[in-house]
Structure 1
Amino acid sequence: MRVTAGIRATHRSPILQVVKSAIAIAASWLIAGALIPGQPPVFAAIAALLVVAPSLNQSLTKAVERSIGVFTGVVIASVLGILLGGSTWVILLATVAGLLIAWALRLTPGSTNQVAISALLVLALGTATPAYAVNRVLETLIGAVIGILVNLAVVPPVAVAPARNAVMALGNELANSLERLARALESPQSAGQLHGLLVEARLMRPMKDAADNAIEVGTESLSLNPRGRKHREDLAAVQALLDRLGPIVTQTVGMTRAFADHYDASIADEPAVQAIAEQLRRAAHDVRLEVRRTDAAPLIAEHRDEPAALTAPLRVHTPSRDHWVLIGSLLEDLRRIHEALEPAS
């Protein structure tokens, strides 16, 4: 593995995030420098940089977190500096004491790091006096407030579209997997085909995880966002679709695994297997129908009243004793898929 893989992200941060950070740093430096003359407003710039986050909710959380960390670190450094002076060993003592006190108070990792950094900077850059400590705390508050205001002025984009795309992709792949399994049930399969069928079905699990993460990011982007109100209903519909698809993904992977584990060439001759294959195609149709109904695109509006296909009762002929375990397993998973696709009452 290349060394750069550990230090480079897979995707660049949005350029808007870089611009907001730069604006917040510059504004906090100028404003804090004008309001609190003397020392360079390092604490204000650091607070502004750390507070500007991809979402307003994260920005507010970081503002509180960093402010508590700076306040605690400045107090610790000031007390030790006044009592013991500004020697090098006092700086080390203040840093270690800050970490231990943050640990004892169960502060978050962000606040803990800020306690140690603030204690170190106070003693390394300034004089440990009450006035200096107060100015550094005020500086930090100014930087945090400016960071929040910049995030409010340049509202972060909502992340509903990526969540929708991830769930729609999962739904389409789920329908494809159901159809692939239906075709496999009806025709002879080689060992390679069975392995490929199972691999393709298992690929839905990382897709499901990606959809969960995308919805989490989307929810975070709407928190405290002035533009979030009109998007929350859309995201709720996407979440509801994912909640329905999740169990079907599990059952489909289970059915595929059971088929691969218990396969023999004569399974396609079972009348019950042919009926199950037809039900899987109907389930694939209904999954796509749910995806289309959730998608708000006007081009598919004519599909909204399309009836579900997985409604006819399934009549099962008694399977042979060589296949009854597999057929029973497939029928149970199919029943659960049917329940997941039933309209909510």
Structure 2
Amino acid sequence: MVQWRGSVSRELARLRRDGRASLLWSLRITVAATASYLVASLVFPSSQPLLAPLTAMLVVQVTPISLLASGLDRVIAVVAGVALAIGFAAVVALEWWSLGLLILISITVGQFLRLRSNLVEVAISAMLVLGVGAIGAEAAAWQRIAETLVGAAVGIIATLVFPPKVASSDAGRAIDGLADSVSELLLRAAAELDAMTEHDPHRLSGLSREWLGDARRITHDIPVVGAALLRAEEGRRLNVRAVGTPHVEPGLRQGLEALEHTAVAIRGLMRSVSEASDGDWLDQDVASTVLGDLAETFRRLAAGADAFGELVRHEGDVQISLSRGDIERLRAAQDGMLASRVRLDAPLEESWPADVVELYAATRATVRRLQHELGLEERVRRQLRLLPERRPPTRPGGGRRSASAAPEPTNADDETQVLPSLAEEPPETPRRR
């Protein structure tokens, strides 16, 4: 019952978040298809030009840049298919063997023309025109070309006039989802390590293999998140709705790369745990200490990954005004990973089993890698850098800036350097001698 309520709550939240965008997307396709049908009906008043709205629906893509490429490819595919059909209709009738030969040649021509997703359109156009027969093939061919041109033109105009939103927020949520997957794996592993400490440490062998399998699946899902970010990057090009909006895609790309490296590092850590689980140290008194240290480290790594993913999502949504609670949460995650490294240093100096020493060394290296990759304070500086610039107050009768004002940043690195740290008051800048 609780799980069912949670699923319903998540779906309702998704509907509230994405419902308006989905409705606008459906409206754009409907308007483009209806308009193309009206225009084609004016050109061919004695027919029902359903090919025009079909082409418009297929041409209208997520981004304007892909729309232009898709519209051009579709026109080329239709012209190529019609030309092949006219040649076949003049020589042979519609038979099973002629149909198969026409499809084979059409697909081969489409591959030669590099029509990508519109490859099959060559064969579809050829089959439709060939079905008319040799007598009406030429008339049907020209009408099909004209309807396709009308549908493609209306679809392109509709998208350029009513462009879709820049999908940076969708990419940010996808990247945050990747961080949540890593965090959930680490939290589940930490909880199971605590249970093993109290009951049976030998369960580590089987459970660690499950963790490794889950880590593999997380890394395999990274291309899906990359595709969402690619759509956001392409959606900015030739999109008038992107004018005046912060260019957050470079920050999202850096965040995705950091989480990708994080997921790979966690996968390597789970392999180290799996390999160490076959040792005889689980029968010794040190086992409870090792499992406890691993559980605590996993929890702190999970907190870091979760905080980092949330920060990237805020950047994608251009919600730059972070609350004091968000800042403190990021501080705690940074301090927790630093404390984990200190906690893992002590056992390396003791005479423990070799498997345990190697496991601690691998865990400490992973913590250090995540500290470097996540860089929570650097992400906060990225957020603050997107804040609208505040104009300094000017004195009556003079608009000159004071000599103590900070200089204008000239590039991204300079912008990062002049931002204050996460403390409440920015530290004093030492004077250069």
Whole-Å Cα distance in 2 between the matches of residues 77 and 168 of structure 1? 50
Q: Which runs of 5+ in 1 are unaligned?
A: 1-10
Any idea what SS the aligned residue of 1:84 has?
A: coil
Distance 1:230 1:273, change over 3 A: farther
- For the residues of structure 2 that align with 1:181 and 1:91, how far apart are their CA atoms? 61
CA offset at residue 119 of structure 1? 1.9
CA distance in 2 between counterparts of 1:173 and 1:128 reads 56
AA partner of residue 150 (structure 1): A
Matched ranges for 1:33-72 at <5 A: 33-72=41-80
Q: List alignment gaps of at least 5 residues for structure 2.
A: 1-14, 379-412, 414-433
From 147, 152, 159, the counterpart of 2:160: 152
Amino acid at match of 1:259: V
Give 3-state SS (helix, strand or coil) of 1:99's partner.
Answer: helix
Q: Which amino acid aligns with 2:267?
A: V
Match of 1:7 in 2: none
1:92 is matched with which residue?
A: 99
1:28 to 7, 30, 36: 36
Say which SS state the counterpart of residue 151 (structure 1) adopts. helix
When residues 45 and 252 of structure 1 are mapped into structure 2, their CA distance, relative to the original with a 3 A threshold, is closer
Structure-1-length-normalised TM-score: 0.74
Deviation at 1:140, TM superposition (A): 1.3
Amino acid at match of 1:317: E
Q: 1:121 to 1:233 in 2, by over 3 A?
A: same
2:232 — aligned with what?
218
Aligned to 2:137: 128
Higher mean C-alpha displacement, 268-277 vs 92-101: 268-277
State whether structure 2 residue 320 is matched by structure 1 residue 301: no
Q: Are residues 200 and 163 of structure 1, via their aligned partners in 2, closer, same or farther at CA, if it must alter by over 3 Å?
A: farther
Length, aligned pairs only: 332
Q: Deviations over 1:231-278 (max 9, x none)?
A: 663343233222112222222233233224423154746988877776
- Partner residue of 1:258 out of 241, 261, 272: 272
2:110, 2:122 within 8 Å by CA — same for their partners in 1?
no
Q: d(CA) in 2 for partners of 1:59 and 1:68?
A: 14
Q: Deviations over 1:153-184 (max 9, x none)?
A: 44334433333223224334534555666673
Output the amino acid matched with 1:301: S
The residue number in structure 1 matching 2:361 is 328
When the two chains are superposed, the root-mean-square deviation of aligned CA atoms in Å is 4.1
What amino acid maps onto 2:266 in structure 1? T
* Kept after mapping to 1: 8 A contact 2:111/2:119: no
Structure 1 pair 242–37 and aligned structure 2 pair: CA distance change class (3 A): same
1:119 corresponds to which residue?
126
Distance in 1, Cα, partners of 2:37 & 2:309: 50
Q: 1:20 to 1:124 in 2, by over 3 A?
A: farther
1:63 Cα deviation (Å)?
0.9
Q: In the aligned structure 1, how far is the partner of 2:359 from the partner of 2:338?
A: 23
* Distance in 2, Cα, partners of 1:179 & 1:111: 45
* Structure 2 partner of 1:4: none
Q: Determine if contact 1:92/1:120 at 8 Å carries over to the other structure.
A: yes
Residue in 1 aligned with 2:151? 143
The residue type paired with residue 361 of structure 2 is: G
- Structure 1 distance, partners of 2:176, 2:237, is 23
1:212–1:293 distance in 2 versus 1, CA, 3 Å = same
Is this contact kept in 1: 2:84–2:106, CA < 8 A?
no
C-alpha contact 1:222 1:232 (8 A) present in aligned 2: no
For 1:207 and 1:230, locate their aligned partners in 2 and report how far apart those are by CA, in whole Å: 35
Quote the offset at 1:192 in angstroms.
Answer: 4.5
Q: Give the counterpart letter for 2:349 in structure 1.
A: H
Q: Secondary structure at the residue paired with 2:175?
A: helix
By how many angstroms is 1:144 displaced?
A: 0.4
Q: Percent identity?
A: 21
Structure 1 counterpart of 2:232, one-letter code:
G
Structure 2 letter corresponding to 1:336: R
Counterpart mapping for 1:218-237 below 5 A: 218-229=232-243, 233-237=247-251
